[in-house]
Amino acid sequence: MPNFCTFCGKGKQVGNVVQTRGRAKYLGGVGTKVTGITRREFKPNLRKVRISTENGTHKTVCICAQCLKSGAVNRVVKAAPFKLVDQKK
* b (16+ CB within 10 A) / e for 61-74: bbbbeebbeeeebe
Q: How far is 35 from 20, CA to CA, in rounded Å?
A: 5
Parent domain of 65? 13-70
Under the banding of pLDDT at 50, 70 and 90, the label for residue 86 is confident
Predicted confidence at residue 35, as pLDDT, reads: 96
Q: Residue 35 is part of a domain; what is its CATH number?
A: 2.30.170
Residue 44 in domain: yes
Number of domains in the chain: 1
| Three-state secondary structure string covering 16-50 | EEEEEECCCHHHCCCCCEEEEEEEEEECCCEEEEE
Residue 87 in domain: no
Residue 46 in domain: yes
Residue 78 in domain: no
Predicted confidence at residue 89, as pLDDT, reads: 63
pTM: 0.66
Residue 39 in domain: yes
Q: Which amino acid is at 46?
A: L
Question: Cα dist. 62→24, 40, 46 in Å?
Answer: 43, 22, 6
Residue 8 in domain: no
Under the banding of pLDDT at 50, 70 and 90, the label for residue 53 is confident
pLDDT tens sequence across 4-25: 999 899 999 999 999 999 999 9
